[in-house]
């Protein structure tokens, strides 16, 4: 059950009574769901964790937030941890809803190996505690293969091996480990650490969820390409439909509703009502439309090679660039072919639009007619880069060619829909589009936004001006 290198046995009574130095904190934190979430770069957090002081570390993801809302003991365990690190796109989106951009997503399956690589460089040792029998040993073998020089002080399973706290703590302390990785899943691992971390002689204790299962190959991890597109939920649903239907769809729906409510509760100031409407509508739309989004992703993948999502730099409020998300409706060489097609634009002015654009796929034409290709921009709204109502975000080269008057449309956040979209979309010329956007910027109200949202449904169903 337990492996350990020979080392002097520590005095457990001394370990229990040992005073705990005040732990230093990373540069900043972001309050989210009542937890002070670390907001710092991964390397900075690594340096702070290895500063010689004692640290108890937890991670917060969407599942953790849902569990925390109904488990007071778990919420207390997270709130008393020295550091709680942001884990996953869900928490990142929740922070964006409150108007905060996290410095880095520090998910445990990426951050913990980074920490251990630095530990190996410094000659520190690690103890792996958790998961089913044999998993910690398999994970130790994988870590030693991936991180040359890493010293494993010992391993212990997290079921029978965790049944007796005193025996587990004695074994861990006897190993002389500098870092303890606890992987029993939430909330068990964090409750165990909250109860016992002060009895451990190791300086750093982390609760890492399913990391050991990942390392041992017991749980399949999403490919890097999938994770970089933030489509891991769709990938997992495809390979584990029964389990993921409950864990990822229902769980994420619940989390997004909770995140939206949290953002509304913390909103203040002049723009609170508009931001609140954005969060409420975009979160609700994401929940309701998830089955459709999955089907669209499948259709795109089946028709043509290339990524499901297309990202492109657009210009937002006050001229700040951001990456807009769209379902890919064109062949993958579309950007390279754009310059050759500029002369075929069916719209007057600097904004290019072609009714018979040869770069558009068959699925893409259907997506464009009903504006389905724009649905991933719900994520841009949740992140605060866009609004539900506002001028459409322009390309950098289009903004560079704007007359001075047109720059006024950059005074508000770009939107999913707006006045010109409900008045004919691409059939509206550039000058008239600018007139409409400037009029909206000068007279926007909550009532006007609600009216435009209602009119958008009619425009989408009619398909007028969509190509």
- The pLDDT tens digits of the residues spanning 206-234 come to 999 889 988 988 765 555 544 444 444 45
Phi, psi (degrees; rounded to nearest 5) at 460: -65, -45
* DSSP H stretches of helix in 322-445: 334-341, 362-369, 377-382, 396-400, 430-443
Report yes or no: 369 and 466 within 8 Å, Cβ to Cβ: yes
What would you report as the CA-atom Rg of the chain, rounded to the nearest whole angstrom? 26
Question: What is the per-residue DSSP string for 147-186?
Answer: STT-EEEEEE-SSGGGS-HHHHHHHHHHTT-SEEEEES-T
Whether pLDDT at 359 is above 50: yes
Element (DSSP H or E) covering residue 310: strand 309-315
Q: Is the peptide bond before 406 cis (omega within 30 degrees of 0)?
A: no
Q: How far apart are CA 89 and CA 255, in angstroms?
A: 12
What are the boundaries of each domain within the chain?
A: 3-215, 267-462
Phi, psi (degrees; rounded to nearest 5) at 320: -80, 125
The SS3 call for residue 57 is strand
- Band of residue 95 on the pLDDT scale cut at 50, 70, 90: confident
Q: How far apart are CA 206 and CA 189, in angstroms?
A: 9
Phi, psi (degrees; rounded to nearest 5) at 288: -70, -35
Residues 270-289: pLDDT tens digits? 466 677 778 888 888 887 88
pLDDT score of 83: 96
Q: How far apart are CA 37 and CA 64, in angstroms?
A: 13
Q: How far apart are CA 56 and CA 181, in angstroms?
A: 10
Whether pLDDT at 433 is above 90: no
Residues 160-169: pLDDT tens digits? 899 999 999 9
Report yes or no: 172 and 12 within 8 Å, Cβ to Cβ: no
CA geometry: angle at 212 spanning 207 and 214, to 5°? 120
Q: List the helix and strand counts (H, then E) for the chain.
A: 21, 13
pLDDT score of 341: 55
Residues 168-200: pLDDT tens digits? 999 999 999 999 999 999 999 999 999 999 999
* DSSP H stretches of helix in 197-239: 211-215, 224-228, 232-239
Q: Which of 436, 410, 411 is nearest to 423 (CA)?
A: 436
User: What global pTM score does this model have?
Assistant: 0.64
User: How much is the mean pLDDT over the chain?
Assistant: 80
Whether pLDDT at 128 is above 70: yes
């Amino acid at each position: 059950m337990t492996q350990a290198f020979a080392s002097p046995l520590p005095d457990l009574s001394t370990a229990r009574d040992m005073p705990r130095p005040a732990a230093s904190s990373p540069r900043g934190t972001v309050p989210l769901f009542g937890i002070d979430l670390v907001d710092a770069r991964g390397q900075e957090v690594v340096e702070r964790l290895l500063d010689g002081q004692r640290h108890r570390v937890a991670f917060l993801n969407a599942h953790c937030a849902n569990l925390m809302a109904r488990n007071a003991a778990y919420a207390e365990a997270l709130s008393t941890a020295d550091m709680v690190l942001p884990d996953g796109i869900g928490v990142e989106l929740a922070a964006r809803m409150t108007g905060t951009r996290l410095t880095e997503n520090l998910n445990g399956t990426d951050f913990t190996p980074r920490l251990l690589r630095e530990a190996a460089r410094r000659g520190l040792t690690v103890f792996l505690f958790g998961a089913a029998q044999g998993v910690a040993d398999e994970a130790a073998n994988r870590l030693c293969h991936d991180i040359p020089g890493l010293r494993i002080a010992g391993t212990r399973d997290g079921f029978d091996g965790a049944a007796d706290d005193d025996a587990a703590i004695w074994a861990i302390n006897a190993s002389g480990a500098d870092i303890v990785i606890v992987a029993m899943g939430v909330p068990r691992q964090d409750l165990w650490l909250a109860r016992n971390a002060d009895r451990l002689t190791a300086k750093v204790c982390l609760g890492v969820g399913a990391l050991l299962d990942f390392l041992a190959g017991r749980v399949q991890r999403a490919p890097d390409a999938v994770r970089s597109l933030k489509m891991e939920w769709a990938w997992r649903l495809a390979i584990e439909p029964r389990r993921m239907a409950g864990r990822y769809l229902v769980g994420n729906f619940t989390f997004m509703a909770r995140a939206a409510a949290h953002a509304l509760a913390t909103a203040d100031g002049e723009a609170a009502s508009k931001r609140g409407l954005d969060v409420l509508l975009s979160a609700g739309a994401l929940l309701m439309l998830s089955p459709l989004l999955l089907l669209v992703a499948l259709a795109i993948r089946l028709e043509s090679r290339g990524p499901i999502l297309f990202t492109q730099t657009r210009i937002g409020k006050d001229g700040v660039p951001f990456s807009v998300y769209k379902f890919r409706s064109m062949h993958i060489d579309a950007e390279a072919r754009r310059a050759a097609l500029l002369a075929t634009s069916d719209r007057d002015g600097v904004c290019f639009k072609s009714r018979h654009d040869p770069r558009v796929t068959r699925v893409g034409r259907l997506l464009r007619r009903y504006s389905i290709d724009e649905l991933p921009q719900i994520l841009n709204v949740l992140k605060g880069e866009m609004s539900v109502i506002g001028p459409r975000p322009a390309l950098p080269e289009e903004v560079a060619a704007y007359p001075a008057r047109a720059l006024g449309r950059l005074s508000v956040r770009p939107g999913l829909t707006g006045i010109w979209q409900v008045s004919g979309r691409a059939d509206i010329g550039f000058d008239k589009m600018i007139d409409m956007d400037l009029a909206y910027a000068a007279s926007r109200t909550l009532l006007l936004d609600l009216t435009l949202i209602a009119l958008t449904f009619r425009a989408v169903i009619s398909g007028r001006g969509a190509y």
